[in-house]
Amino acid sequence: MTDEPAIEVRGLVKRFGGRAVVDDVSLTVAKGEIAGFLGPNGSGKTTTIRLMCGLLTPDAGEGRVLGHDILTEGRAIKREVGYMTQRFSFYEDLTIEENLRFVAGLYGLDDARRAVSGTLADLGLTSRRGQLAGSLSGGWKQRLALAACIMHRPQLLLLDEPTAGVDPKARRDFWNEIHQLASGGLTVLVSTHYMDEAERCHRINYISYGKLVAKGTVSEVVRDAGLTTFVLSGRNVTRAAERLEGMDGVDQVAPFGNTLHVVGKNADLLRAAAERVAKETGCDLSPSETSLEDVFIQLMGKARDNMQ
Amino acid sequence: MSRFFSFTRLRALLSKELIQMRRDRITFAMMLGVPLMQLMLFGFAINNDPKGLPAALVAPTQDRYSRAIVTALELTGYYRFTHPHASAAEAEALIARGDVSFVVTLPSDFGRRVDRGDHPALLIEADATDPSVASGAVSTLSTVAAEALLREKGIEAQARESAAQSLEVVVHRRYNPEGVTQYNIVPGLLGVILQMTMVMMTAMALTRELERGTMENLLSMPATPLEIMLGKVLPFLGVGAVQVVVVLVAARAIFGVPFLGPLPLLLLGVFVFVSSLVILGYLFSTVARTQMQAMQLTFFYFLPSLLLSGFMFPFRGMPGWAQALGELFPLTHFLRIVRAVMLKGADTAAVAQPMAALTLFAIGFAAFALLRFRRTLD
């Protein structure tokens, strides 16, 4: 094995009914990295992931996943990739154990019985092995799906919004497990909406309306966005918000509890506007760090402008 | 492990299908209960040669001749005089309403003309909206009526003499001398029942995975199209085998259908037929996107295959183009095999042609299904 990246795709295009759902996306994920894949709903995350694991054929573009050509070597890719779908896609009318056995059989695992019982033990599901998958709660379904994806010891995990509808505790456990797997050399590409999850990734890729609009580490992405943020606090933040909305230099106004985050691209204009409003409404003004969420909201707005 | 086929993967797919089949209790019960129910229902209900049909008699003067004719007609088994004293107007109303299938009219001078040796005439009106209802009854008619009259006049000798002079036609109704409809219907029902369940169940195979969202997962794992097809189709061969046993035992025990040919030959025919059906159903499921579409496709296929296969109506009675169309249905060929083997005691050579046709169907459908199979979600 060389230092070839786990994923290297260039210029991927996928159209559905004439509309480019994925538009010229290039993506590189290094081995052993946890790459975050972010973007609003319908931005093309799922489609991109499906293109990479051979579930969809790209209309244009090329690339290699684990050294295999995505256009011609789908079969080899499938064997070495674990893909966890957005929607629970195991058999609800099969028990946990039967689902795992099915997966073990399809991957032709040498000692399927041991793999299944080992996985059941890892999950802490040995006592509930006979329970139908359909009767599991969201968190357990997600754990089962993850377990089934990694049972054949893939080199690359593609996780499509794995934590949607899962409680915070389960989410944290899930991420701990992902980090543990990555430290064992597994490469992970995970799509998500959640900012706290994005911050748990080594690198993030932001896709919007089919286009990749930002990539890098979290601090790189925040820095590259070049945004300035102020926080207003006081009793009159609601009135301040009304005043600030639409003023020159103010791109985002977002209330956070008793404070107000004001974000803008042009630092001078933003400062002027914020100071004026702070004085008028008697709020305190202080500079603040720009958060990843602020960046994403900004990127989303920009991408929409590009579309129109 | 081979690239295109592995028994491990097939075994995994098969056991998954079997578990799902077992868990879906209602479907499972239907697969076994429906054949028996349908066999009973249709086996006892369908009759191509209806007897005891209601008839009205219009005879202003009832005498021994009219009584003789009525008795003779009733003895054929086809007529049952429900309205023996109808007037012409009443009879017209009865047949128009459909209360009687026949109106037998004897003119008022019927008896006198018979005595005189004149040419007596009698009119039989049949409700021929359904030709098969009228045909059996009408075909027996002329000889029966004539013989009845002659017998009544006491000139039977003369009757026999006149019959002897004319051409003697010997008719052998072979394979089913009594014309028992069930002998024809019950073996045919085997084909129809198998077709119904086999095609419909397998047509759901892939569409169900698509609708439940499990297809995405299945496709992202290394199962090949051939393995997936066999995994979906083979369990139904087992279901088909059970249905075959049920229907054949019932055919023998309940309907007393003769079983003249070799059983292994029949089972071979059934096997090839069921194979072609499950693969056809699977082919439907590669075409349809939803279970609803699969269901509709199946029904679009059912009706023509039922009506053009020779199950309900005589195959040879159809125009050439319809016969050509009928040849395209596996059911047509299976009916030839099952009727030939069960009723005629046919040997292998006699059914080689339909057998070959069914084999071709199975292979052709399989090839087409594998080509149609979408390895991606495109």
Average pLDDT in the B336-349 region? 92
Q: pLDDT tens across A228-240, in order? A: 999 999 888 888 8
Rounded Cα distance between B229 and B286, Å, is: 10
Residue B322 tokens read as 């319809």
Q: Minimum mean pLDDT among A86-100, B127-141, B172-186: which range?
A: B127-141
Decide if pLDDT at A14 tops 90: yes
The minimum CA-CA distance between B19 and chain A, rounded to whole Å, is 7
Distance, in Å, from the CA atom of A178 to the CA atom of A306, rounded to the nearest integer, reads 35
Contact: A93, B13; criterion CB under 8 Å: no
Judge: B221–A93 Cβ closer than 8 Å, yes or no.
no
Question: Is residue A1 exposed (0-12), middle (13-18) or buried (19+ Cβ within 10 Å)?
Answer: exposed
> Over pLDDT 70: what percentage of chain A?
97
Last residue of a domain, one of A202, A222, A242: A222
Contact A83 B6 (CB under 8 A): no
Cβ contact A299:A221 at 8 Å = no
The residue assigned the tokens 């032709």 is A108
Which of B23, B218, B221, B373 has the most A C-beta neighbours within 10 Å, making it the best mutation to test the interface with A? B221
**β-bridge partners, A188:** A34, A157
Looking at residue B58, which CATH number applies to its domain? 3.40.1710.10
Asked if residue B41 and residue B58 are part of one domain, the reply reads no
Asked if residue B323 and residue B236 are part of one domain, the reply reads yes
The verdict on B57 and B195 lying in the same domain is no
Same domain, B148 and B285: no
Are both A151 and A42 inside the same structural domain? yes
Chain A residue numbers touching B215 (CB-CB < 8 A): 89
Q: What is the pLDDT of residues A224-277, one digit of tens each?
A: 988 999 999 988 888 888 888 888 888 889 888 888 989 998 899 999 999 998
**Of A157, A215, A209, nearest to A186 (Cα)?**
A157
Residues A14 and A150 in one domain: yes
How many Å apart are CA B377 and CA B211, to the nearest integer?
12
Name chain A contacts of B19, Cβ cutoff 8 Å: 93-94, 98
CATH of the domain at A30: 3.40.50.300
Query: Distance of CA A4 to CAs A36, A78, A109, A296, B32, Å?
Result: 19, 18, 27, 30, 57
What residues in A contact B22, CB-CB < 8 Å?
none
**Residues paired with residue B315 on neighbouring β-strands, in sequence order:** none
Q: What is the DSSP letter of B351?
A: G
Question: B1 in a domain, yes or no?
Answer: no
* Disruptive mutation site among A53, A56, A96, A106 for chain B (greatest number of B CBs within 10 Å): A106
Q: Which two tokens stand for residue B345?
A: 């005691």
Q: Are residues A188 and A57 in the same domain?
A: yes
Task: Test A89 with B375 for CB contact under 8 angstroms.
Answer: no
Query: Which DSSP symbol is given to A19?
Result: E
Q: Are residues A241 and A205 in the same domain?
A: no
pLDDT at B78: 86
CA atoms of B198 and B298, how far apart (whole Å): 10
What's the number of domains chain B is made of? 2
Q: Both A43 and A181 in a single domain?
A: yes
- Does residue A1 register a pLDDT over 50? no
Q: Rounded mean pLDDT of A38-46? A: 87
Phi, psi at residue B269, to the nearest 5°? -60, -45
Tell me if A102 and B219 make a contact (CB, 8 A cut-off): no
In percent, how much of chain A has pLDDT > 90?
53
Q: Are B29 and B136 in the same domain?
A: no
Residues of chain B in contact with residue A90, where contact means CB-CB under 8 angstroms, are: 214, 217
Q: What is the pLDDT of residues A175-207, one digit of tens each?
A: 999 999 999 999 999 998 888 888 899 999 999
C-alpha count within 13 angstroms, C-beta hemisphere, residue A65? 30
| Helix B263-287 with B291-308: angle, nearest 10 deg | 140
Predicted complex ipTM:
0.86
Which residues, in sequence order, are CB contacts of A296 under 8 Å at separation 6+? Answer: A38, A195, A206
* Chain B interface includes A91 (CB < 8 A): yes
Distance, in angstroms, between A116 CA and closest chain B CA? 13
Mean pLDDT of B151-174: 69
pLDDT at residue B165 in the model: 61
- Residue A298 domain-assigned (yes or no): no
Q: Please check whether residues B92 and B193 belong to one and the same domain.
A: no
Whether A213 and A302 have beta carbons less than 8 Å apart is answered as: yes
At A262, list the tokens.
Answer: 């004001």
Please tell me if residue A131 touches chain B, with a CB cutoff of 8 Å: no
Beta carbons of B220 and A105 less than 8 Å apart: no
Let me know whether B41 and B185 are in one domain. yes
Q: What is the mean pLDDT of chain A?
A: 89
Q: Give the H/E segment covering residue B57.
A: strand B53-58
Helix pair angle (A138-150, A168-183), 10° resolution? 10
Asked whether residue A194 falls in the same domain as residue A254, the answer is no
Do A72 and A185 lie in one domain? The reply is: yes
Q: Is residue B171 part of a domain?
A: no
Domain membership of residue A202 (yes or no) is yes
**φ, ψ for residue A95, nearest 5 deg:** -75, 170
Cα angle A284, A286, A291 (rounded to 5 degrees) comes to 130
Give A92 to chain B, closest Cα distance, Å: 9
Element (H, E) at A187: strand A187-192
* Total tally of structural domains belonging to chain A: 2
Please indicate, yes or no, if residue B99 is contained in any of the structural domains: yes
For chains A and B, what is the number of CB pairs under 8 angstroms? 82
Mean pLDDT confidence for B178-198: 88
Residue B76 sits in the same domain as residue B29: no
Q: Is B156 a residue whose pLDDT tops 80? A: no
pLDDT at A22: 92
- The torsion of the CA quartet A159, A164, A168, A171, rounded to 10 degrees, works out to -10
Contact A78 B222 (CB under 8 A): yes
C-alpha angle B94/B98/B104, rounded to 5°?
Answer: 50
B213 vs A107: CB contact, 8 Å cut-off?
Answer: no
pLDDT, tens digit, for every residue of B300-313? 999 999 999 999 88
Q: Please check whether residues A216 and A255 belong to one and the same domain.
A: no
Cα gap B287→B373, rounded to integer Å: 8
Q: Is A51 on the interface with B (CB under 8 A)?
A: no
Give the per-residue pLDDT at A303.
63
- Given pLDDT bands bounded at 50, 70 and 90, which one contains residue B30? confident
Q: Is residue A299 assigned to a domain?
A: no
- Per-residue pLDDT averaged across A204-216, rounded? 89
Does B214 map to a domain?
A: yes
Q: Is the Cβ–Cβ distance between A201 and A36 less than 8 Å?
A: yes
Considering B135, B165, B195, which residue would you say is the last residue of a domain?
A: B165
Residue A294 lies in a domain: no
Q: Kindly report the nearest CA distance between residue A172 and chain B, in angstroms.
A: 25
Would you say residue B352 lies in a domain? yes
- Reported confidence tier of residue B147, pLDDT bands at 50, 70, 90: confident
Taking the alpha carbons at both ends of chain B, their separation in whole angstroms is: 28
In this structure, are A77 and A96 located in the same domain?
A: yes
For residues B64 and B42, membership in a common domain is answered with no
**Which residue among B212, B216, B222 places its CB closest to the CB of A55?**
B216
Structural domain including B127 reads 53-165
- Express each pLDDT in B80-99 by its tens digit: 999 988 899 999 999 999 99
Task: Annotate B72-95 with DSSP letters as a single string.
Answer: HHHHTSSEEEEETT--HHHHHHHH
CB-nearest partner of B217 from A79, A89, A107: A89
Whether residues B34 and B142 fall in one domain = no
Residue A51 falls inside a structural domain:
yes
- Asked if B28 and B104 sit in the same domain, the reply is no
- Could you tell me if A204 and A271 lie in one domain? no
Distance from CA of B175 to the nearest CA of A (A): 50
Mean per-residue pLDDT for B170-189?
Answer: 85
- Domain range enclosing A280: 228-289
Is A170 found in the same domain as A277? no
Residue A224 structure tokens: 């590259």
Last residue within a domain, chosen from A204, A222, A240: A222
CB contact (8 A) between residue A105 and residue B12: yes
Tokens of A7: 């994923």
Residue B1 has pLDDT above 50, yes or no: no
Torsion of CA A52, A99, B291, B240, to 10 degrees: 130
CB contact under 8 A, B216 and A104: no
Structure-token pair, residue B201: 């169940």
**Same domain (yes/no): A122, A256:** no
Q: Do residues B117 and B260 share a domain?
A: no
Pick A98's closest partner by Cβ from B19, B223, B376.
B19
- Residues of chain A in contact with residue B13, where contact means CB-CB under 8 angstroms, are 102, 105-106
CATH of the domain at A266: 3.30.70.600
Strand residues in A17-141 grouped as ranges (E):
19-29, 34-38, 60-65, 68-69, 81-84
B170 falls within a domain: no
